[in-house]
A = this chain, B = another copy of it.
Amino acid sequence: MKYNLRPPLTKKWINILLILICMPCFAQTKSKPNVIIIYTDDQGAVDLGSYGATDIYSPNIDKLAKEGTRFTQAYVAAPVCAPSRAALLTGKYPQNAGVNSNTSHVPGSHGMPNNQYTLAELFKDQGYKTGHIGKWHLGMSAETSPNAQGFDYSFGHLRGCIDNYSHYFFWAGPNIHDLYENGKEVFYDGQYFPDLASDRALQYVEDHKSDPFFMFYAINMPHYPYQPTQKWRDYYKEVEKPRGDYAAFISTIDERIGFLINKLETLGIRDNTIIVYQSDNGYSTEMRAFNGGGSSGPYRGAKSSLFEGGIRLPAIISWKNNLPQNIVNDEFLVNIDWLPTLANLCDFNNLPKNIDGKDLSKMIKKPNTVSPRTNAFWKYGNQWAVRKENWKLIGYPKDTSHKGELDLEHDALFLSNLDEDVSEMENLANKYPEVVEALKTEYMSWEHGQASDIPKKSVVINHLGKSKKIKDIKKLHNKYKNIEVLLDGKRGYNDFSSGQWIGQEGKDLEFVIDLNTSQSISNINLGYLHNPSNWIYAPNTFEASFSNDGKTYNNTIKSNTPSRIHNKNNFIDKLSIKTKQQARYIKINIKGITKIPENNEGAGSQGWVFIDEIIIN
């Protein structure tokens, strides 16, 4: 919660100094601009009139764009909700904010760590009132709640999505009521959540019209379930579903943003309020979203993808009569930049120093100046991406928009020149190997870029076991049964689902390799994957025993001990057995951890083991 590089005592002293010495400052606080961040949920890259949608009515947001700057190259730091929000609120890459992927609804799951210093804490430390209204999705415990992360006031739901009328968490049952005000469960059975939230947002700005305030208005639309109001359903009744419901949901958002801006105008504080608008990630193609509804327009990808459609989204900043109006800005930015940008627009000093965001305030004040941002990095599950100037390289890309095929053999590294092809439909990696190398180097310069993230050209390894038969196989997991990959001479990519891995959950892997004839064996290497976020851990033990008749096995030999379990994500390593044997048959036994230890991802559950090649020399 506290910005962790600044000793609390110093901060206390600053506060005391402020109170004792700078009393006149408080009289002036009314002149400090208010800040509202409107953060929508699963809104597609072009799903606004001002972004080119011809079938969506969004007059209020479009007017906001006219009264400020609309960005065409604004990214979020993650293609899904929780890490995108964590990045926004901390000004850091999700990995540095402690939220790599969506937080879980399971009681006791982790949220954004309490020691993260958020926008709310920053504004609070500057004498602002701070309010959160809408979705949270960054933790359900007292320590990870909005109130614990710097918000004086909070109203909304803590989990990922709700039924807007019953306020039940919208996921597999048993379903849970999820509506809280300042940490206390509240019931407004049947009342439309977007209106409950809108009413509170209007009340919040009215209550604080004389204070400077920071309001994080996390609108939970157009995230499924698609529940637009009757008015907008009627408006779009001719539009085919799910597009019609989705479009009606966008207009439902737009109308409520209109209510808010109207309120600011009525209160006479519109000119003293900076409004930032952005979507948290691309539109959803999940089954619960009827596989679509939104649009990424010319871009490839959608929610969960690092193609542009998952992360390049509508973004607007408007500060009437204080910042330029009617600007379309094509410069490059990421949502982590809002923290330093807003801090500078508000003339704060004492900014947190360990952030990843760039201050864009000058560029926003003076259009046609260049963004201070020249590169950015993403890492989400197995996917990663780096953008440097106009070039973008994606590792293990996924296209959730299903606009084209991806062949992991050739497209595991996917290069695009965004100046020439925003669609990312043609992989330029083979054409520009030197650019690929430069971007790989750039990615590796990032603190979270790991050598194991880089797909390797598949080189065939020749060894005694290559293409030999495997028999006497203990039950394999139904999804991972193509056991021949263990002796195909190829190592797997660090993606457990790439088809090159044999996975097992809870149980042993055991089988016999038949070398056809008796061979002299000096060592056996076992390739394994370590990927705690998918509950995949290094094997616990790896043993081999040997036989010449295929019946009696002797000389059971254990491998070296694997690295102890830790949370470093996604690496490939191997275990070795050293021996001197003359044998035809090798019985392999691999045991995974049966119960994931405390303080590891999936603690208490059965762990998975994933192995690729067994290299016999």
A residues contacting B by CB (< 8 A) are: 163-166, 168, 170, 172-175, 187, 189-192, 224-225, 227, 229-230, 233, 242, 287-291, 475, 477-478, 481
Contacts and interface: CB of A to CB of B under 8 A. Distances in A.
B165 A225 contact: no
Contacts of A242: 174
Contact of A175 (B174, B233, B288, B477): B288
Given A163-B165, A168-B225, 16 more contacts: A165-B166, A166-B166, A170-B173, A173-B224, A173-B225, A173-B287, A173-B288, A174-B287, A174-B288, A174-B291, A187-B230, A189-B227, A189-B230, A190-B192, A477-B478, A478-B478
Contacts of A189: 165, 192, 227, 229-230
Contacts of A288: 173-175
Contact of A225 (B166, B287, B477, B478): B166
A58 to B, nearest CB: 22
Across the A-B interface, give the 8 residue pairs with the lowest CB-CB distance, nearest first: A478-B478, A173-B288, A165-B165, A165-B166, A190-B190, A165-B190, A174-B290, A163-B166
A409 B225 CA distance: 47
Nearest to A173: B288
A150 B514 CA distance: 72
A233 B175 CA distance: 16
Nearest to A174: B290
Nearest to A187: B230
| Majority-rule SS of A interface residues | loop
Contacts of A166: 163-166, 225, 227
11 contacts: A163-B163, A164-B166, A165-B190, A168-B225, A173-B287, A174-B291, A175-B288, A187-B233, A189-B229, A190-B192, A478-B478
A408 B481 CA distance: 32
Contacts of A163: 163, 165-166, 168
- How many protomers of this protein does the assembly include? 2
Contacts of A172: 172
A230 B174 CA distance: 19
Nearest to A472: B471
Of residues A163, A166, A230, which shows the largest number of chain B Cβ atoms within 10 Å of its Cβ? A166
Contacts of A477: 478
A224 B165 CA distance: 16
Contacts of A478: 477-478
Contacts of A287: 173-174
A173 B172 CA distance: 9
Contacts of A174: 224-225, 242, 287-291
Nearest to A175: B225
Contacts of A173: 170, 224-225, 287-288
A530 to B, nearest CB: 25
A576 to B, nearest CB: 31
Of residues A172, A173, A229, which shows the largest number of chain B Cβ atoms within 10 Å of its Cβ? A173
Contacts of A475: 481
Contacts of A227: 166, 189
A322 B191 CA distance: 45
A191 B168 CA distance: 15
A168 B192 CA distance: 14
A290 to B, nearest CB: 5
A506 B46 CA distance: 42
A68 B238 CA distance: 54
A164 B166 CA distance: 7
Of residues A190, A227, A287, A291, which shows the largest number of chain B Cβ atoms within 10 Å of its Cβ? A190
A234 B165 CA distance: 20
A167 to B, nearest CB: 8
Nearest to A479: B478
A60 B478 CA distance: 55
A302 to B, nearest CB: 16
A12 to B, nearest CB: 41
Contacts of A164: 166
